Structure 1
Amino acid sequence: MSYKFWQKNKTATNKKKSKTREWVDAIVFAVIAATIIRVFFIEAYTIPSGSMERTLMVGDFLFVSKVNYGARIPMTPIAFPFAHHTMPLTTSTKAYWDGFELKYHRLPGLSEVKRNDVVVFNFPEGDTVAVENQADSYYNMVRNMGRGVVRSTYTIIDRPVDKRENYIKRCIGVSGDVVSMKAGVVSINGKPEPLKATGMMPYQIDFKTKDVNFSVLEDLGVRTGEMQQIGNESYIANASPNIVDELRALDFVSSVKLSPTVLTQRETGIFPHDPNRVWNVDNFGPIKIPAKGWTVTIDSNNMPLYYRAIRTYEGNKVEQKGKQWYINDKPATTYTFKMNYYWMMGDNRHNSADSRYWGFVPEDHIVGKALFIWMSWDGEGSMLHKIRWNRLFSGIH
């Protein structure tokens, strides 16, 4: 027996890894490291639609921080690396196994979600049934939702929360806030909050002449191809406050004002899909956003607003028998929320599917905070103008 077993045996032959084994080890390590970074620290996203213009443009590539609000522990942990809900090059093959799911947990973060944060979250309508005939009563809708009856052309795909589509919007109201909107201007807790410099709204532009140099408007950021002519010298166009200021300075522009075509009648598809509320995309509320620990009275006025949060997001059985509501088979006159909720809206208010259509976003749907744009690609540009150089590595506010 050797008493110097701790010393290296010089006669022993060193077993070298094969090139294949080295490559496999390197790839496995890279995948694990990248997955950890993507899940717990930072992730790349791209902007596919114009709902956040001009804060975010179609073709912007951005990084989203998981650290700011605290990384969410994967609720569907068994999944194919770097895929979201479907396998690469497929449209229906699941990239995850939902036979094993974890409850919602989040690591400590640097801060809570704040008003005006630009937030990435999972689409909060995984099992929503869109009601085609809005004349139906709310209670019929509730019963249809409970039975899973689909009464429209929408395809309902009920994925796990963390495997639903990623959306990006601005947080207009946080839990506990009272949000409302009148003539296109949002109010939070009774205080008007006009759109910031980047937000887009429809404006009526009156020109002094029929001969308009539309290329000048394009240079200012107005999409002239989307303008709607309402008179010989008048048009409706989406613009931000900054663009409006520049338009008013043009010598061939007579006036620029918010479009008077703001709807006053009830609009189909608007949350909470209640025929007793005459709401539309420019006029709604007031609505109190649920907060963890807040107790709401359960009655015919409140249930259209909070039914989905109580039933779907917080996992309760909700029924109405006569005039009495039952939660988990027990008569209920109040309900105390278990999670915080948020109200999300796009800066391009008239081209955005947001909380006005599907209501509150629960905290377990929050993915992270948008930090900065690292690349911006203009699909309509030419040659070197394909890259929006002025947007590279710009912060998101």
Structure 2
Amino acid sequence: MNWKLNFKKNPDTVKPKKSKTREWVDAIVFAVLVSTVIRGLLFSAYAIPSGSMEGTQLTGDYLFVSKLSYGPRMPNTPLSIPFTEPVMYGIKTYFGALQLPYFRLPGLTTIKNRDIVVFNKPDEAGPEYNIPVDQRTCLIKRCQAIPGDVLKIIDGQVYINGKVAPNAPKQQTSYAIVTNGQDINVDALQDLHVTVRQQISPDSYEMVMPAAAAAIIKTYSNIKSVTPVVARARFYDAEIFPHNEKFKWNLDNFGPIKLPKKGWTTPLNDSTLTLYRRAIEVYENNKVTVNGKDILINGKKADTYTFKMDYYWMMGDNRHDSLDSRFWGYVPEDHIIGKAMLTWFSTDSTKNIFNRVRWDRVLRPIN
């Protein structure tokens, strides 16, 4: 028997033409796939919703964030609706029953001191929230300390490993302003990007501004004094990490505290457990119990603990109007999203429609 195999294409066979609807569906599917890959692996766009980074980044800035810089993080919840908020109209847009372990591809660089970083809010970790890491609120802050650094804040000035950390050029803090009773020009305050936090008396105010603006306000004829507002040393603020009276820390006087580093082993005692328990228990998924003087990790007595991840210390440039690591502690590496690279657009909601766009901030590099 002779078998003849004909692999030649029949010239009379005509491939059916796609309908307009099918062409549109294919185009949309392709666009979604490409944009999802780009957004997941290369870069994403984010908006600044609050003033915690003013005057470096302003409310209404729109940013490009590079995920390649520190390595693209693979999603914990791969089954989610792209380009949506985690919860819309009270309904989750992700399938939380399927969660993958933390994994990150190699990056172009590592996080360095003073990088501006976008990350998921670590305060939303823990069983009481039950939110996967990649679905937690996104924040933007400046990295003040990297793994292994010892951080201390003295009268509002950050020190890293015993040395003064350079301040951001437009870093802001609170000042007590005393006038001679005459009103301050409101337009002048707006031009200097000064925020009036409160009026204490007819001639006394608390205002938030950069040091350069404070120097200018001092020259006004109706200003008697401009003094930085600084919480006194050893004044205990219960809202400040680690929320324990053993550590009498506050916004302006804090530490010293060492940032955990992957592979670093710390002895365990009352003090170190207070500082690192959240990292050990919540971020690294261990069960910690205290039985008398004994510390047990996963049911076994432990005198030391070796960290599995790197941790970072993030703070806003608007020092007295920023919820940051001073309130909720370290940021674990699995919460890092990427490096803020470019302000591609910016709007000021307080202006009218003709003056709303801040053209001087469009396509502006971030540093």
Alpha-carbon shift at residue 386 of structure 1 (Å): 0.8
User: Does 2:227 match 1:257?
Assistant: yes
1:181–1:282 CA contact under 8 A, matched in 2: yes
Match of 2:112 in 1: 114
Q: Who is 2:189 aligned against? A: 217
**Alignment: residue pair count:** 365
For 1:180, the equivalent position in structure 2 comes to: 152
Provide the residue aligned with 2:13 in structure 1: 12
Q: Which amino acid aligns with 2:132?
A: P
Q: What CA distance in whole angstroms lies between the structure 2 residues aligned with 1:183 and 1:161?
A: 34
Aligned 8 A contact 2:231 2:253 in 1: no
Q: Which position in structure 1 is the counterpart of 2:344?
A: 374
CA contact (8 A) 1:184 1:262 kept: no
The match for 1:287 is: 257
> C-alpha distance in 2, partners of 1:157/1:191?
38
Q: Decide whether the 8 Å contact of 2:155 with 2:230 is kept in 1.
A: no
Percentage of matched positions with identical amino acids? 46
Seen in structure 2, the aligned counterparts of structure 1 residues 13 and 295 have a Cα distance that, compared at 3 Å, is same
Partner of 2:56 in structure 1? 55
Residue 125 (structure 1) shift: 2.0
Give the drift of 1:347: 0.8
TM-score scaled to structure 1, two decimals? Answer: 0.87
Rounded Cα–Cα distance in structure 2 between residues aligned with 1:390 and 1:195 = 23
Which whole-Å CA distance do the structure 1 matches of 2:187 and 2:291 have between them?
Answer: 62
> Which of 323, 336, 346 is the equivalent residue of 1:353?
323
SS at match of 1:301: helix
1:131 aligns with none
Q: Mapping of 1:149-298 within 5 angstroms?
A: 156-193=128-165, 195-207=167-179, 210-223=182-195, 226-230=196-200, 233-259=203-229, 262=232, 264-298=234-268
Which shifted more, 195-204 or 354-363? 195-204
Please name the residue that 1:135 is paired with: none
Q: Secondary structure at the match of 2:87?
A: coil
Please tell me the root mean square deviation across aligned C-alpha atoms, in Å: 2.0
Q: What residue identity is the alignment partner of 2:104?
A: R
For 1:352 and 1:260, the matched residues in 2 are separated by 15
Instruction: Give the structure 2 partner of residue 333 of structure 1.
Output: 303
TM-aligned CA deviation for residue 249 of structure 1: 4.1
Query: SS in structure 2 opposite 1:104?
Result: coil
Residues 271 and 356 in structure 1, CA contact (< 8 A), matched pair in contact too: yes
Q: Which of 91, 94, 101 is residue 92 of structure 2 equivalent to?
A: 94
Determine the C-alpha separation between the residues in 2 that align with 1:234 and 1:261: 18
Deviations 1:20-62 (A, max 9, x none): 1111111111111010000000101111111111111111111
Q: Is the 8 A contact 1:69 1:108 kept in 2?
A: yes
Q: Note the alpha carbon deviations across 1:203-232, whole angstroms, 9 max, x for none.
A: 123445624323222211112xx2433455
For 1:264 and 1:384, locate their aligned partners in 2 and report how far apart those are by CA, in whole Å. Answer: 50
* 8 Å contact from structure 1 (residues 210, 232) kept in 2: no
Show the counterpart of 1:141. none
Q: Matched residue of 1:221: which SS?
A: coil
2:155 and 2:231 in contact (8 A); partners too: no
Alignment match, 2:43: 42
Mapped contact 2:125–2:283 kept (Cα < 8 A): no
Deviation of 1:251 (Å)? 4.5
Tell me the distance in 2 between the aligned counterparts of 1:110 and 1:194.
24
Q: TM-score if structure 2 supplies the norm length?
A: 0.94
Deviation at 1:101? 1.6
Q: Which runs of 5+ in 2 are unaligned?
A: none
Q: Is the 8 A contact 2:259 2:312 kept in 1?
A: yes
Determine if contact 2:69/2:107 at 8 Å carries over to the other structure.
yes
Change in Cα spacing, 1:182 to 1:17, as seen in structure 2 (3 Å) is same
- Give 1:346 deviation, angstroms: 0.7
- Partner residue, 2:335: 365
Q: Secondary structure at the match of 1:125?
A: helix
Q: 1:342 aligns with which of 304, 312, 316?
A: 312
Greater mean alpha carbon deviation, residues 73-82 or residues 36-45:
73-82
* Distance in 2 separating the partners of 1:99 and 1:222: 47
The equivalent residue for 1:29 is 30
Partner of 2:103: 105
